[in-house]
Structures are given as structure tokens and as C-alpha cells.
Amino acid sequence: MTISDRFDDIPERALTWHRAGRGAALATVVETWGSAPRRVGSMLVISGDGEMAGSVSGGCVEGAVVVEAMEALEDGKPRLLEYGVSDGDAFAVGLACGGTIRVLVQPVGAALPEGVLAELVAHRAARTPAALVTGLDGGTPTLTTEGFAQRFRLDRSGVEEDGTTFVAIHNPPLQMVIVGGVHIAQALVPMARIAGFDPIILDPRESFANESRFPETRIVTDWPDEGLDRIGIHARTALVLLTHDPKLDDPALMRGFDSPAFYIGALGSTRTHAKRVERLTAAGISADNIARLDAPVGMDIGASGPAEIAVSILAQVIKTLRQG
């Protein structure tokens, strides 16, 4: 048995393994109570030969879920499993965090039709929000891009009020546009990628924004306002300005204020930010828009050096995403 270290491509792996004839069962956390290690909607895929990718717990119950998945692949029937500290079996496999989780196991091709999974994968590739709706009482899953507006906005999968309908939300990946290919950005890009963001470097200075400094990363070398028009800013975008240069930061800010970006932050000292506020106010930017700007960027953790500053920025971005 091998475990993948990636958690963002589970439906794609399930479809690939199924089509390769290996078999695949998709396990999804549908409900949690107490101190559960993984959020609702977390997924694990298990192949017929025992390979798995993803996670439904902190490693506590994966072994037990794999056993159930193998049986589901044999008989083609879904399973709705529950593990908690009060269950002897769950305690034996190590769910010692004090929580309870329910996990839905669906063999692909039987309980989860290949066509539905393929459609989901296509939506994910097109960066189109989609919801996989499953009846926990045994209904055939369906896919929709309509309804569930609040779930899409909050990026929150869960069981509906009827207690039998589970909605798995598949939003486009989070996007982090980093203006300025500086040392902090070199540390921030891999951290953001691990946290589930698609990082993009935007900097017209090719000496800063290049493949050797940012391997396997999308790089846009337009002027910031033009580059943001090309990239596109949506409600799952974090805009991080690191150039410390008004000629580059201010055009990006103007675009950011006109966008639905959930986070806008800019590097600079308190004095630098005060001058920035003066410029923005003189340019007619409203106080409400200026208040959207986190500056100096990052949480105050006493960070020293590019890597620690990058940690503080990512922490602040995630805090804003999850708590507003």
C-alpha cells in the first residue's frame, strides 16, 4: 500500500484508476462531531490493489476504511461508516482525538457512475464550481452547477436539513496572485501551493520574475494592472503585493479594489502604509476600500527573514478565508 502526498486530485485519480481497470472506491467525510481531524468533504481514494491517495482522518481510520472499500469494490455497494471514540473498532484503529466522523464509501462504476465522475473531473479541469449530490440512503449521485449558493460561497460541503442528502462542494482552486518576484515570494509560492493555492507571480521585471527563481510556476510579466486583467480576479483570489514600489503596487491595488478578491495585502512598514493611504485617498479611493487592505502584510508573529514573513502572510490569508 502506498499513500500519495497530494490531496487535491482525488476525483481525477479515482477516474484514472477505474478506467485503467484497477478499480477505485471514493471515500468522503460526510459529517463530523467534536475534534475531527479532517473537515467535511475530505476525500480518500482506494484502488483495487490497495493504493490510496488523500485522507479522511489524520491516519487514524484509513486502514479500516480501506478494508470496507475493498469489500465495496467486490459487491458494488456503498457503505456509510461511522467512527468515534465510543466505538470499539474505531478506538482500535486509533481515532483518539475525541471526535466522531461518518464516511461514505462509493465504488466507482457502481455506486458512483463513471459518467458522473467524468463530468465532475471535467468541471474541475475547467475551473467551474460544481456540487456532487448524493442520497445517503442509497440514491444515485448527481452533479449540478446550480443552487447551493451559500455552500459554494463558504466552500462548505455537508448534509442538508433533510438529514439524507449530502452535498460535496468542488470549487475552483484558490488563487494567490503575488505582485513582485522578491525573496519573500520565493518562500511564499511553495507554501501557498502546499496549502491548496494556485500561485501566480506578476512582475514586469524579468530579472525577478523568471523560471529559475520560480520553477513550475505561472509567471506574468505584464504591468500589474494589465496583468491582473489577463489573470482575472475572482472571489477565491488572494492578492499579495510585495514589490514595496508604489509604481507597481498602486496599479495592482486599483484593480484589486474593483474586484471580489477575498484578501488584499501589501508589504511595507507602518510609515510606508500611511503614505500609501494618503496616495489612495488623493486618488479617490473610498475609506471602505482602503479598509480592505491588510498592511503591513502578514500576521504579527515577530517574523524575521523571508521564510518567516511568508509564513505570517499565508497565515493571515487563511485566517481571512476561513474567518472573514
311: CATH: 3.40.50.720
Whether residues 53 and 196 share a domain: the answer is no
Mean local confidence (pLDDT), 239-252 = 94
| Same-domain status, 86 and 188 | no
Q: Which tens digit of pLDDT belongs to each residue from 72-128?
A: 999 999 999 998 755 555 555 555 556 789 999 999 999 999 999 999 999 998 888
- pLDDT higher than 50, residue 7: no
pLDDT at 142 over 70: yes
> What are the helix (H) ranges across the chain?
10-19, 62-75, 88-93, 114-125, 149-154, 183-194, 224-231, 246-257, 270-282, 287-291, 306-323
- Is residue 190 located within the same domain as residue 155? no
Q: Does this model's pTM top 0.85?
A: no
Q: Which domain holds residue 227?
A: 174-323
Domains in the chain, number? 2
Cα 178 from chain centroid (whole Å): 17
Note the pLDDT of residue 53.
Answer: 92
Of the residues 155, 170, 185, which one is the last residue of a structural domain? Answer: 170
**C-beta neighbour count of 288 within 10 angstroms:** 8
